[in-house]
Structures are given as structure tokens and as C-alpha cells.
Amino acid sequence: DIVMTQSPDSLAVSLGERATINCKSSQTVLYSSNNKNYLAWYQQKPGQPPKLLIYWASIRQSGVPDRFSGSGSGTDFTLTISSLQAEDVAVYYCQQYYTIPPTFGQGTEVDIK
């Protein structure tokens, strides 16, 4: 199975400041035949189900604010919240869908400083 490791486990950022979450996969999730990274990001607020934010490593899901962006390729990926808002307090997960079983990172908790 591909192991997904996120860093940090938690971070606190001031309102309006940038938050950066890293995700590393134990093997590449870049499929060479289509040059796509099989990597998604989810946001989970307390008491709620996960919500898809980003897929193909950098494509924002419809309705997701543009302060959320994804980048990276191969084994190293980043989710950036450019200007943290109060409603962004949540746990964020990366997920690879390159192979079965799809696997998630352990989650990164984002809070307000």
C-alpha cells in the first residue's frame, strides 16, 4: 500500500495569514501515460463529513474558494490556504488514488493563532 505522510500534524495561523500543509507519498502517484498526479485533498470540519477540495493535485472542486490551492508532483505535494479565514478551521487530509487501496494521510489540524 502507498503510505501518505502529512506534515505538520497541526498548525496555528493568524487570520489572513498563509497556511501550508505538506503531503508525501511513499511512491510516485504520477501516472506517466497521462502526466496526472492521482492526489486529492479534503477538508473535514468538526462533526461533518469530509469535503473534496482539490483533485488531480491542483484542480479546485467547484465552489471551493480560490484561496485554496494545490501543488506538487510525483511524491511531494502541498495544500496552501493563502489567507486563512475563521471558517477554514478544520482537519485536512491528502489522499492518493493511484492504486487500490486508496490511502489517506493522517490529517493536519488547522487552527487560528
Partner 1 sequence: EVQLVESGGDLVQPGGSLRLSCTASGFTFSNYDMHWVRQAAGKGLEWVSTINVAGDTYYRGSVKGRFTISRENAKNSLFLQMNSLRAGDTAVYYCARGSSSYYYMDVWGKGTTVIVSS
Residues that bind partner 1 (CB under 8 A): 38, 40, 42, 44, 48-52, 55, 61, 93, 95, 97, 100-107
SS3 per-residue string spanning the chain: CCCEEEECCEEEECCCCCEEEEEEECCCCEECCCCEECEEEEEECCCCCCEEEEECCCEECCCCCCCEEEEEECCEEEEEECCCCHHHCEEEEEEECCCCCCEECCCEEEEEC
**Smallest distance from the beta carbon of 105 to partner 1, in angstroms?**
7
- Closer to partner 1 at the Cβ: 82 or 104? 104
- Closer to partner 1 at the Cβ: 68 or 93? 93
**Smallest distance from the beta carbon of 14 to partner 1, in angstroms?**
26
